[in-house]
């Protein structure tokens, strides 16, 4: 069970990327009052948690309704996660996030960024939705599902703490250290994504 928790925790941590969300949140809330920043951090994490919980509990039924097999979703989700991993290794993901943040900052409304772009798509994006559905599909029984949800809750808590402490985190890490960590996590995510694809292909050929 510890192995399931560690695997799920690492996957969620890499895909959601709490340290990577912190600088985006800091730039989007620059000049806002401390209480307003706190409220947006809590709201963004809560909305993302609700979205991910929805797909964790009902994602499999949704796929079944659409006539999509779990094996096909494992392969598609694995490919999607692998593309995210490539972006992380070559430092394209953070650049894309920063460009999106700049577009939001340039808009006329900057008061509340908790729903977009923080909750969706930076925390509860395609990668994290695919990850939670894949991991829930791989978990066996109620205990396995609860362990996956516990890992998701732990990463979301870390994400909330990262948003609340965005300023100090940026001063502590710096761009070079953050880039190095992102590349290492990208390699780990690539391996996990490859495993999802292998599992999907194995199930397809075993049927």
Domain boundaries, the chain: 2-206
Distance between CA atoms of 66 and 114, rounded to whole angstroms?
Answer: 31
Question: Could you report the per-residue pLDDT of 6-31, keeping only the tens digit for each?
Answer: 999 999 998 898 987 887 787 677 77
Distance between CA atoms of 1 and 162, rounded to whole angstroms?
Answer: 27
CA angle at 25 for the pair 22 and 30, rounded to the nearest 5° = 125
Structure-model confidence comparison of residues 43 and 195, the more confident one: 43
Structure-model confidence comparison of residues 151 and 17, the more confident one: 151
- Whether the CB-CB separation of 58 and 132 falls below 8 Å is answered with no
Distance between CA atoms of 4 and 71, rounded to whole angstroms?
Answer: 19
**Total-model pTM:** 0.74
How sure is the predictor about 125, in pLDDT bands with cuts at 50, 70 and 90?
confident
pLDDT value at 100 more than 70: no
pLDDT value at 102 more than 70: no
pLDDT value at 56 more than 70: yes
Structure-model confidence comparison of residues 173 and 86, the more confident one: 86
pLDDT value at 108 more than 50: no
């Amino acid at each position: 069970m510890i192995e399931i928790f560690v695997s799920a925790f690492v996957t969620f941590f890499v895909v959601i990327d709490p340290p990577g969300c912190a600088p985006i949140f800091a730039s989007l809330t620059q000049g806002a009052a401390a209480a307003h920043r706190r409220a947006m951090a809590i709201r963004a994490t809560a909305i993302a948690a609700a979205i991910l919980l929805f797909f964790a509990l009902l994602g499999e039924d949704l796929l079944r309704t659409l006539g999509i097999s779990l094996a096909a979703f494992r392969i598609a989700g694995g490919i999607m996660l692998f593309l995210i991993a490539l972006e992380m290794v070559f430092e394209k993901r953070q650049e894309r996030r920063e460009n999106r943040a700049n577009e939001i900052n340039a808009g006329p409304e900057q008061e509340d960024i908790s729903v977009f772009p923080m909750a969706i798509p930076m925390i509860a994006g395609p990668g994290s939705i695919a990850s939670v559905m894949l991991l829930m599909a791989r978990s066996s029984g109620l205990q396995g599902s609860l362990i996956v949800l516990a890992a998701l809750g732990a990463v979301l808590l870390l994400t909330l703490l990262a948003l609340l402490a965005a300023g100090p985190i940026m001063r502590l890490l710096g761009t070079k250290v953050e880039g190095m960590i992102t590349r290492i996590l990208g390699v780990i995510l690539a391996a996990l994504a490859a495993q999802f694809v292998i599992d999907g292909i194995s199930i397809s050929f075993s049927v």
